[in-house]
Amino acid sequence: MRTFAEFQIMGRVGKTKDVGNTLRVTVAAEYGRKDNNGDFQPNAYWNEVTIFNENVIKWVKENTQPGDLVHVRGTLRQTSWENSSGGTEYGMTLAADDFDNMSQDERRRAAKKQEG
């Protein structure tokens, strides 16, 4: 039996930054709710995904911008490191395998509509 740990995020791009040979992209997923008055209250959760694949890194840099709606899928990797006081700390890496820009399709449709 195959085992795995995966994640999936549909959200908006925040910032991108190069870290070594990787690209890290923050993506906001919205978990809003209605308050007692029935008004929608936004509640964004920011997730940082790490892209290791050179081709995907290049594509993301050339085809995404802050605010774009993206769909990201990948694997979860627990990491650990020694802190300055000698203790062990743990974290989680969201290693992105698939990165699709939903806003890019919208921009193409709008450009085509303006042309014709």
Whether residue 93 lies inside any domain: the answer is yes
- Convert the pLDDT of each residue in 18-33 to its tens digit: 999 999 999 999 988 8
Compute the distance between CA of residue 68 and CA of residue 11 in angstroms, rounded to an integer.
Answer: 8
- Convert the pLDDT of each residue in 73-113 to its tens digit: 999 999 999 999 999 999 999 999 999 999 877 777 777 77
Compute the distance between CA of residue 49 and CA of residue 94 in angstroms, rounded to an integer.
Answer: 5
Whether residue 1 lies inside any domain: the answer is no
For residue 34, give its domain range.
6-115
CATH number at residue 50: 2.40.50.140
Whether residue 74 lies inside any domain: the answer is yes
Burial 8-35 (b: 16+ CB within 10 A, else e): ebebbbeebeeeeebbbbbbbeeeeeee
Count of structural domains within the chain = 1
Whether residue 36 lies inside any domain: the answer is yes
List alpha helices for 31-101, DSSP H: 54-63
